[in-house]
Structure formats: C-alpha cells, structure tokens
C-alpha cells in the first residue's frame, strides 16, 4: 500500500490519533510526552503511531499534513496541531471537549 494511502487510512479509521515519537507509555521526546499527558487527562482512548518505528510516515506526513513537526494530533480527520497547540488547548480547558466529541462521534 502507498504510504499516503496508509496515512489517510490511519487518519480516517482513528477519530483520536496522535503521531508521536515513541509510545504513550514511553515517549521519546518531551513534546510527545506533553501531548500524551494532555490527551490522557481527557479520559478517552486514543490511537497513536510511533514515527520512529515508521520512517516512511515520519518523512511523508509533514508534507501531507503541511505541518513540519511531531507530535501531530488529529481529531475526526482534521489536524489539530502539535505540542504547543495541544498544551494551549489543554490549559484553556478546551481539549477534553474536543477529544470527547471526536471519540463520541466514533461510537455513534
């Protein structure tokens, strides 16, 4: 399967998806660690892709998403942003509602 198709499929099939370095239990950079903490505090399940284990995704996703850095949070197929945006939304109290809405739409 083409790598763009793989990325599209991951984004379409996972309403809450984090592209990150490492895993939620063992983030491999501080930015990914902050993003995971913010997401976990929302209390919903989320999917993740370890870009360190997927070099093709690591090189292709920034071009596809038009977003140069990782982590990248996607909700219902839309790019929310990276670590700074995730942290800002979390601090404002907006992230839990966004994540719950995305997770809830998958269950509907």
Q: Is residue 5 within 8 Å of residue 70, measured between CB atoms?
A: no
**Cα 72–91–85 angle (5° rounding)?**
25
Q: Is residue 48 within 8 Å of residue 20, measured between CB atoms?
A: yes
Select 3-107's CATH number: 3.40.50.720, 3.90.1300.10, 3.40.50.300, 3.40.30.10. Answer: 3.40.30.10
Cα–Cα distance for residue pair 35/102, rounded to 1 Å: 17
Indicate whether 92 pLDDT > 90.
Answer: yes
Q: Is residue 19 within 8 Å of residue 49, measured between CB atoms?
A: yes
- 37-76 pLDDT, tens digit per residue, is 999 999 999 999 999 999 999 999 999 999 999 999 999 9
Average pLDDT over residues 89-96: 97
pTM, rounded to two decimals: 0.95
Cα–Cα distance for residue pair 63/89, rounded to 1 Å: 24
């Amino acid at each position: 399967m083409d790598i763009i198709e793989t990325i599209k499929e991951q984004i379409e099939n996972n309403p809450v998806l984090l592209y990150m370095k490492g895993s939620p239990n063992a983030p491999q950079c501080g930015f990914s660690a902050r993003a995971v903490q913010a997401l976990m505090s929302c209390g919903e399940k989320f999917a993740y892709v370890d870009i360190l284990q997927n070099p093709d995704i690591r090189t292709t996703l920034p071009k596809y998403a038009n977003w140069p850095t990782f982590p990248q949070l996607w909700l219902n197929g839309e790019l929310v942003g990276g670590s700074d945006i995730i942290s800002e939304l979390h601090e404002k109290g907006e992230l839990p509602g966004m994540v719950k809405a995305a997770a809830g739409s998958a269950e509907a």
